Amino acid sequence: MKRRAPFSAILFILLTVSACDRVRNVTSVQDPIVLGYSQLGDESSWRTQNSFSIKAAAKRTGIKIMFEDAMQDPANQIKALRSFIAYKVDIIAFSPLVETGWDTVLGEAKAAGIPVMIVDRMIDTDDESLYATALCSDFDLEGRKAGEFLIRKFKDRAAPVNIVELAGTAYSTPAIGRSEGFRKVLEQYPKFKVVYSEDGDFMQSKGREIMRQVLKRFNPKDINVLYSHNDDMTFGAIEVMSEAGLVPGKDIAIVSVDATQRSIDYLKAGTINCVIECNPNSGQQVMELAKRIVAGEKVEKRLYVQETTFDEFGDLDSIPARGY
């Protein structure tokens, strides 16, 4: 986990730079757009790539980015958003850790005339005027895809299919969508039963911890499927299964989300049976939207990044290198 300078120090630097560096005039070619970006943390390989994509795209497109890592704490995100408002950035973007608790600070951004873009995860608000656009993954669809794979895989099985779910951070959009979408699809087939579900915060260490508890609590023969909301938790669970003498992907079928290179390698080796892509490479789209919004253009309120699915029924040799 990265160590960050205390917030007060960051705020001091921001305000000092603000005083001597600039009078905003975004229409001038010499004056780049300033984007304040609050990233929720660095909990997974997906997140590391997402941060990389955003910073690289900012550099490529000539946008000046102030990037803050909230280390999995919404209070840090709120502080970062307030520092961006104090600095009078041209636009704020952020990936909210959880869905609720943003209305007050977003109201402050609105009052300051600073547009806000929501990226990756969504917020739960009754006031849509608090943000200009939201560019997210369709997490409900990801969950439905995971359920559809299981329907296909177990189509000839009449006996119950017992599922252990490693869920993501509680109250976060991906955890909510991946759970709800999955259940929506499977509820039409009573043979599928989620026998255990626990939040693992999208972290490998928690995937390991939870899988250890699961194998103490259940006879492994009674678990047919592990559905994990992200690759990092899957990797932790795979380690524990292998240590326990199980063959992941055979004794217990595995469905994972993200599609990092390592999970695709596991898919090719038969260790994972299905990988639902969650696309972290949204940087370029974020920057293009930022430019349009700052230029005063009205953009679509809700946008989704493109995502696909890879599974054992597909042509695994044609999957291009993931790059992360």
Note the residues at the interface with ligand AHR (CB under 6 A). Answer: 43-44, 46-47, 120-121, 174, 202, 230, 257-258, 278
Closer residue to ligand AHR (CB): 12 or 304: 304
Q: To the nearest whole angstrom, how small is the minimum distance from the Cβ of residue 190 to ligand AHR?
A: 29
Q: To the nearest whole angstrom, how small is the minimum distance from the Cβ of residue 137 to ligand AHR?
A: 6
- Report the 10 Å Cβ neighbour count for 320: 6
Closer residue to ligand AHR (CB): 57 or 215: 57
Closer residue to ligand AHR (CB): 174 or 181: 174
Greatest CA span in the chain, whole angstroms?
Answer: 71
Q: By C-alpha distance, which of 8, 308, 14 is closest to 138?
A: 308
Q: To the nearest whole angstrom, how small is the minimum distance from the Cβ of residue 111 to ligand AHR?
A: 28
Judge residue 8's burial from the number of C-beta atoms within 10 Å of its C-beta, 0-12 exposed, 13-18 middle, 19 or more buried: exposed
Alpha helices in 154-260 (DSSP H): 173-186, 204-217, 231-243
Q: To the nearest whole angstrom, how small is the minimum distance from the Cβ of residue 255 to ligand AHR?
A: 13
Alpha helices in the chain (DSSP H): 7-21, 45-61, 74-87, 103-111, 139-153, 173-186, 204-217, 231-243, 261-269, 283-294
**Contact of 18 with 66, CB cutoff 8 Å:** no
Closer residue to ligand AHR (CB): 148 or 232: 232
Q: To the nearest whole angstrom, how small is the minimum distance from the Cβ of residue 46 to ligand AHR?
A: 3
Closer residue to ligand AHR (CB): 36 or 174: 174
Q: To the nearest whole angstrom, how small is the minimum distance from the Cβ of residue 300 to ligand AHR?
A: 20
Q: Which two tokens stand for residue 135?
A: 């560019």
Query: What does DSSP say about strands 274-277 and 309-311: parallel, antiparallel, or unpaired?
Result: antiparallel
Closer residue to ligand AHR (CB): 99 or 239: 99
Q: How far apart are CA 69 and CA 75, in angstroms?
A: 12
Q: To the nearest whole angstrom, how small is the minimum distance from the Cβ of residue 101 to ligand AHR?
A: 17
Beta bridge partners, 304, equal 136
Residue whose token pair is 């990988």 = 275
Closer residue to ligand AHR (CB): 220 or 323: 323
